[in-house]
A and B are shown apart, each in its own frame.
Chain A
Amino acid sequence: EIVLTQSPGTLSLSPGERAALSCRASQSVRSSYFAWYQQKPGQAPRLLIYGASSRATGIPDRFSGSGSGTDFTLTISRLEPEDFAVYYCQYYGDSRGTFGQGTKLEIK
């Protein structure tokens, strides 16, 4: 069973700064099945990145994904006020979905 570990648990930054969120898999995974989601309080998650590095429809280009194998990163190049939220990595394999525990991005 694949386990996804996200770090840090909480990231405190200011608008305009760059954010780098990490997700590590317990074993090598297929990049094509790796995704990132954003969740704001009281809302459902929203797909940001699929295939480890492709932006979903309507996602601003300040969001980018990278990585392969066991290490993946979500980068937000310049934080906007609306970007402060919880971010989850996710992998689909062996006919089941797996989520990381989340990284909370908060305003410093």
Chain B
Amino acid sequence: QVQLVESGGGVVQPGRSLRLSCAASGFTFTFYNYGMHWVRQAPGKGLEWVALVSYDGSLKYYADSVKGRFTISRDTARNILYLQMNSLRAEDTAVYYCARWIGDPFDAFDLWGQGTMVTVSS
């Protein structure tokens, strides 16, 4: 079954760290046409793109709001995507989705996980 399953969310105090995981199954995680992204959604708000990593992990890009605090990575041997979140702030509170980007000819997010909730609060 082709799916993405996130884990690692929870309640954390401001300034602390948290690592999210996204386990991929049912497809070739290292296929050259698949980028992996994190997208978040604050309670009652819209979608916000967070970060991406290329199929082989060599390229990484971040939204300005998380640059320098979050790190995206992927374990190609275990088919897992990670998001290391440091120096967390209240405004990072959101549901975090991992999403697969499929390149040409689709160039869109074609597969999403169910999301994991992160709450930053003292």
Interface residues of A (CB under 8 A from B): 32-33, 35, 37, 39, 44-47, 50-51, 54, 56, 88, 90, 92, 95-102
Q: Give Cα A23 to B110, complex, Å.
A: 20
- Contact (Cβ within 8 A) A102 B47: yes
A97-B37, A99-B46, A102-B47 as given contacts; A45 in contact with B109, CB under 8 Å: yes
Given contacts A88-B47, A97-B109, 13 further A-B contacts (CB under 8 A): A35-B108, A35-B109, A44-B114, A45-B47, A46-B112, A50-B107, A51-B106, A56-B108, A92-B108, A97-B49, A98-B49, A99-B46, A101-B46
- Contact (Cβ within 8 A) A51 B46: no
The 9 A-B residue pairs whose C-beta atoms are closest, nearest first, are A97-B49, A44-B112, A50-B108, A35-B108, A99-B47, A95-B61, A102-B46, A101-B46, A50-B106
**Sampled A-B contacts (24; CB under 8 Å):** A32-B105, A33-B107, A37-B47, A44-B97, A44-B113, A44-B114, A45-B97, A47-B108, A47-B109, A50-B106, A50-B107, A51-B105, A51-B107, A56-B110, A92-B101, A92-B107, A95-B59, A96-B52, A96-B63, A97-B109, A99-B39, A99-B48, A100-B46, A101-B46
Q: Which residues of B are found within 8 Å of A35, using beta-carbon distances?
A: 107-109
Choose among B47, B48, B52, B106 the residue that contacts A95 (Cβ–Cβ < 8 A).
B52
The residue of chain B having its C-beta at the shortest distance from the C-beta of A56 within the complex is: B110
- Contact (Cβ within 8 A) B46 A88: yes
A-B contact count (CB 8 A): 65
Q: How large is the interface on B (under 10, 10 to 19, 20 to 34, 35 or more residues)?
A: 20 to 34
The residue of chain B having its C-beta at the shortest distance from the C-beta of A31 within the complex is: B107
Q: Give Cα A57 to B59, complex, Å.
A: 29
Interface residues of B (CB under 8 A from A): 37, 39, 46-49, 52, 59, 61, 63, 97, 101, 104-110, 112-115
Q: Give Cα A46 to B59, complex, Å.
A: 26
| B101 nearest CB across to chain A (Å) | 7
